[in-house]
Structure 1
Amino acid sequence: MTEESVVPASRASLSRRTVLSAGAWSIPVVAAAVAVPLHAASVATGAINADGVVLTFPDANLGGSSELSLSGQITFSSATTAPTNVTVTFTWAGAGDNAGTDGIWVYAPDSTIDGWTFVQGAPNDGLYPAVILQTTVATGTTQVPVVSRRLGSTSNAIMYGEETPIGGFAAYDGAYTIRFSAPGYTDAEIVVPYTQVFPD
C-alpha cells in the first residue's frame, strides 16, 4: 500500500459524528484542568523553618532531668498575607528504662512562651499527653519568636518529659517532638532526644 492511498483512507474515516464525539470528550478534560488550581489553592504555599529554634535542658547535669527551655525563632518562607494562627505542639516519647511514658509535666507558676497562649496543658504542675500553645501573627510576618520563661526568667525550665522511678532514681530518657504549624505553610518538626547520665 502506498502512502498516497493511506492518507485519503484515514481522512475519509473521520465522519461528522466522530468529530462531534471527540469534541464532547474534550469538555470534561477542560473542566478537570480548571478544577486543579481551585484545589491547589488550599495546599500549602510556603513552609515553616524551625532551624532557628534552640532547645536546652537546664538540668542536664549528672542525674538531671529532661527539663525544657526554648529560645530563638521560627521563620516563614514567605511573609503572611493575613493575620495567621501559629500553633506549637509538644509531645514526649520515653526511651530505654523510661520507655512507654508519653506525658509532659508543665511547671507552675508562670510557665510561658512569650506571646503564646496555652491551648492544651497549663502552668499548673500537671501532666498532659501533649502540650499545645498558639499565637496570632500580623500580616507581613516572617519570623515568630519562641522564647520560654518561668517566674520571669528565660533560664528556668517550663516543662519536662514524664519520668519512670527506678531504684530511687527517676529515669528521663526519651525525646521531644515539637511541631510548628500554620494555615498555608508546611509544618516544621524538630525531634530532640534526651539521654540521662546517672551519677556513679
Structure 2
Amino acid sequence: MTRPNIRVVFGTDINGGLLPIPINTLSLVRRILRSDVTSPWRSRMKVQRLGLTLSMVFAVSTALVAAGSPAFAAHNDNNETTLWDDNAQCQAGLIEFIDYGEGAPGGGMNDDYFVVTDTCANGEGVRARVYVNGVLVGGSKYNGGGSGSSVIWDPAQIYANDVVKMEICAANGPQDYSGLPCDDRTFRSVDG
C-alpha cells in the first residue's frame, strides 16, 4: 500500500501567519473513491482511508493556523521611569511596569506588575506609588534593600485604556514623605 502524497502550499492569513492550502486534496479524494470496489470490506477501508487522510490535512491546517496567531501578539505595554540623584551623580531608582502576559510573578491574580529597584549606593532607598485613572492604588512600596535590589509589586489590574502614572521617589524609610526628589511617568495602556 502506498501512502498518498499530499502537497501543501502556504499563503498568509489576515494576521500574517502561515495558512496551509492543500493543492491536491480533491484529486486525492477522487482517486480514493474511484479505485475498484470488490467487497464491502474494501469499500469500508476506502472510507476509513479517506477519513484518515482528510483528518490529517485538517490537523496540519489547524496547527499551522494556530501557530500563526500566537497569544503573545497583543501589544506590549511595558514602561519605566527613573530617578536621578544629582548629589551622588547616579540613577537612584527605577520603577518598571511589566505587561507580563499569562501569570503573575508579582503574586497577584492578574498579568501586570511593577518592579521597584534601588539603583544607587547613595544611602537612601526608593519609594514608589502608582495611580490608575487618577486614583492612588496599593498605597506605596518602599525598597530599602540597597543598590541593585528589586521588589516586585502587584498593586492593581491594568485594563485597556487605563491611564497609569508611576512615581518613584528617594526615601529614607517607608513613611518618608519629606520632599526628597521624585520623578514620574504617565502612559495609557493599550490592551491592559
Please give the range of the TM-score, normalised by the shorter of the 2 chains.
0.3 to 0.5
Q: TM-score, normalised by structure 2?
A: 0.40
User: 1 or 2 for the larger relative contact order (CA 8 Å, sep ≥6)?
Assistant: 1
